[in-house]
Amino acid sequence: MIKTKTFTIGILLAIGLTSCGEDKSKQSENVKTDQEQPAPEKTEKSLSLTKLDSYEMFPDAKLSLEMPEGNKLEKGETSFKFGVENYTLKEQTIGSETLGLANSSKGQHVHFILNNGPYGAKYNEEFTQDLPVGDHVLLAFLSRSYHMAVKTESSYVLKKFRVGKPTEGQKLDVDFEAPHLFYSRPKGTYSGKDAKKIMLDFFLINTDLSGDGNKVKATINGEEFMIDEWAPYAIEGMPMGENTIKLELFDNEGNYIEGPFNKVERTITLEQ
């Protein structure tokens, strides 16, 4: 569990159709044999979701934020500087050519996420980012060249900024001790061979997943999958065109865990 640094076949009902004074011949007209009974309706998923478990782990990789130092910023262009240790940006991740996943030709990078919006891929330790007035929660984490998050205690940065003088509607109240779910992949448009296997990946803060604990519900084109292990997954069977993915964080009793980032839906496009 990552903790912030600051922060059944269904039951077949047998219906007896007997009644007092009714003869057997009449009963036989009303009762169907087992062979005549309609078969139970089966619902099969058109998609598959399979855990990926063969990839480089980077247990010692570390990401830190060196700039900006404070939490209060002016609106406009902000200079960011990250510290990266035991990890090389712009390098191709070992195994990237064998996983069958969309891969960045630019190599390893940082996923830069503001307020659980779509990430920006940052290939350099230093860059500028335009920040509008308001409160912004930044999650940044190290990413393999095929956009899979490095999921360790030291591979990410989580920080809140206040830009300018926000109105009440621009303020964001976040409990950094609470469980949070951040969406990462899939994103954008997938073409050709990259559209055959799509990676589902997300980042968790202050929680882990288990069979008797919290879970992530992934709803993909209306089909639901309950995920009880924090890992990357491969989605297969998606049709060409638009596809929708919704992620939600639930507790062990099946209740949605309230939070500003714990429910998110995205649309991606697959093309030939």
pLDDT at 260 over 90: yes
Residue 138: predicted pLDDT: 98
C-alpha to C-alpha distances, 112 to 127, 141, 201, 272, nearest whole angstrom: 11, 7, 14, 29
pLDDT of residue 196: 96
Percent of the residues in the chain that have a pLDDT greater than 70, as a whole number:
84
**Contact indicator for 214, 252 with CB cutoff of 8 Å:** yes
Say if residue 245's pLDDT is above 90.
Answer: yes
What is the token pair recorded at 210?
A: 């288990």
204 in a structural domain: yes
Is 25 within the bounds of a domain? Answer: no
Structural domain including 225 reads 49-271
Output the CA torsion sign for 254, 150, 47, 246: positive
Question: What is the reported pTM?
Answer: 0.84
- Residue 194 domain flag: yes
In a domain? residue 166: yes
Mean of pLDDT values over 194-208: 98
Question: For residue 22, what pLDDT is reported?
Answer: 41
Q: Is residue 95 part of a domain?
A: yes
Confidence at residue 248, expressed as pLDDT on a 0 to 100 scale: 98
Q: Is 165 a residue whose pLDDT tops 50?
A: yes
Q: What's the token pair of residue 204?
A: 């968790």
Tell me the pLDDT of the chain averaged across its residues.
Answer: 88
Mean pLDDT of 224-251: 98
Per DSSP bridges, beta strands 263-271 and 241-250 are antiparallel
**Does residue 32 carry a pLDDT above 80?**
no
Report the pLDDT value the prediction gives residue 43, as an integer from 0 to 100.
56
Q: Shortest CA distance to 132 belongs to which of 110, 161, 174, 157?
A: 161
Please state which of the ranges 14-23, 65-74, 206-215, 233-242 shows the lowest mean pLDDT. 14-23
Query: DSSP characters for 83-141?
Result: EEES--TTPPPTTTTTS-S---TT-SEEEEEETT---EEE-SSEEEEEE-SEEEEEEEE
CATH number where 199 lies: 2.60.40.10
The reply to whether 40 falls in a domain is no
Find how far residue 133's CA is from the centre of its chain: 28
Task: Tell me the pLDDT band of 2, cut-offs 50, 70 and 90.
Answer: low
Residue 189 lies in a domain: yes
Per-residue model confidence (pLDDT) at position 45 = 78
Structurally, the chain folds into a number of domains equal to 1
Output b/e per residue, 213-224; b: 16+ Cβ within 10 A: ebbbbbebbeee
Query: Which of 29-33, 36-40, 206-210 shows the lowest mean pLDDT across its residues?
Result: 29-33
User: Model confidence over 175-189: pLDDT tens digits?
Assistant: 999 999 999 999 999
Averaged over 112-131, what is the pLDDT?
A: 97
Q: Flag whether 9 is in a domain.
A: no
Which residue did the predictor score with more confidence, 44 or 266? 266
Quick: pLDDT tens for 48-98. 999 999 999 999 999 999 999 999 999 999 999 999 999 999 999 999 999
Mean pLDDT of the 130-140 span: 97
Confidence band for 191, pLDDT divided at 50, 70 and 90: very high
